[in-house]
A and B are shown apart, each in its own frame.
Chain A
Amino acid sequence: RKEVEQDPGPFNVPEGATVAFNCTYSNSASQSFFWYRQDCRKEPKLLMSVYSSGNEDGRFTAQLNRASQYISLLIRDSKLSDSATYLCVVNSGAGSYQLTFGKGTKLSVIP
């Protein structure tokens, strides 16, 4: 089983749509969770951290379910500029500074 699994997509959605990405992780000792965004031929950049209680940043909402080892990202009112690959990231174990990246889910927002 891969450590961090994501649906590769692509997700093709119209502007204004709501889209959700899911991710599962295998290491139950993981304590830190993130979503990174990677534009085509660019470096990954932190989008948001994911907290146990769930957290929101503008149009973006992240949720964590530790029991199911499942993370989600919801994007509301999609913009053309949201087109990118979204990487699910977890740390590699309790106290570990190493991050394990999923392969990413590609989103294309269509006019």
Chain B
Amino acid sequence: DAGVIQSPRHEVTEMGQEVTLRCKPISGHNSLFWYRQTMMRGLELLIYFNNNVPIDDSGMPEDRFSAKMPNASFSTLKIQPSEPRDSAVYFCASSLLAGGIDTQYFGPGTRLTVL
């Protein structure tokens, strides 16, 4: 069974450009999480969805960030306009939440560099 799939794996862009990161969760999982990891701040939760509905987006840094989950098998994280301080590794994770906390399975991440 395929794990969490993320694309692109690497993205280099210039400041001011729009960036879209994509995620396909594990089939059958009902929750999806977007994280950002930097050396300074570690792994931070940006937003999470349960049954395609955003539950908590308090971790989203600012209005430049937006996330969608139009169906159970696809989610996007968009940054517009991008800034150099957005450079980080962005992970998507999925989980099957059924009455308790279950393991979160992470995708390989997207390494974003904003010049």
Chain A residues within 8 Å of B, Cβ to Cβ = 32, 42-46, 87, 91, 97-104
| A-B CB contact pairs (8 Å), 14 listed | A43-B106, A43-B107, A44-B91, A44-B106, A87-B43, A97-B48, A97-B95, A97-B97, A97-B101, A98-B56, A99-B101, A100-B45, A101-B43, A103-B42
Contact between A44 and B43, CB atoms less than 8 A apart: yes
Question: How many angstroms from the CA of A105 to the CA of B21 in the assembled complex?
Answer: 28
Nearest CB on A from B61, distance (A):
16
Contact between B50 and A99, CB atoms less than 8 A apart: no
Q: A43-B109, A97-B31, A97-B50 are in contact. Are A102 and B42 (CB under 8 A)?
A: yes
Question: Which of B50, B100, B104 has its CB near the most chain A CB atoms (within 10 A)?
Answer: B104
A97 partner residues in chain B, CB cutoff 8 A: 31, 48, 50, 55, 95, 97, 101
